[in-house]
Amino acid sequence: MFSRPSIGNHSHRQLILWTKHCRLVLPTCILPMMDTYQKTVSTGSPRVQAYDKNSSKTFQEDALDQLDEARDVALLHSAKYQQALRRYHARRVRGRAFQVGDLVLRLRQSNKGRHEFTPPWEGPFVIAEVLRPVTYKLANEAGEVFKNAWNIEQLRRFYP
């Protein structure tokens, strides 16, 4: 392709510029980058040479299988973590239920007339009726039943 310029065809100045920019390898008289350029164009890079359509398809299927397995493993780890978290939480949760006749305190609903040192609970009240496991009707000490129901979150056991 490229041949070493002879002095007869070119002036000395052109020869110096050409050799300065191209840097010929003297024993072979070719450019060092020409060898690389010819390999990549004619024979391809090692990656292109190693490419096989059938094995590439197999590797792609294997990679997809590994991805599915990794997802399954992650899902399994997540399920195990959530199960352990539920067990941990359930171990520390104490069930709360009241029976008819239990004494309870009720959370104050109104802030009227409250100041900094007013207790947040009022009562005691008596459980008059269990509507659901967490819903109760209350009665005052005189036995008068209130018409509205109270959730267990707004009630607290009273110990006389």
DSSP state for residue 30 in the 8-state scheme: B
SS3 21: helix
In order of their start, the domains of the chain are 12-46 (no CATH), 103-157 (2.30.30)
Report pLDDT digits (tens) over 60-117. 888 888 888 989 999 999 999 999 999 999 898 888 889 999 999 999 888 787 888 8
C-alpha span between 160 and 124 (Å, rounded): 9
E strands along the chain, which residues?
Answer: 103-107, 121-132, 135-139, 145-151, 155-157
Q: What is the pLDDT of residue 21?
A: 52
Report pLDDT digits (tens) over 103-150. 999 998 887 878 888 888 998 999 999 998 889 999 998 889 999 999
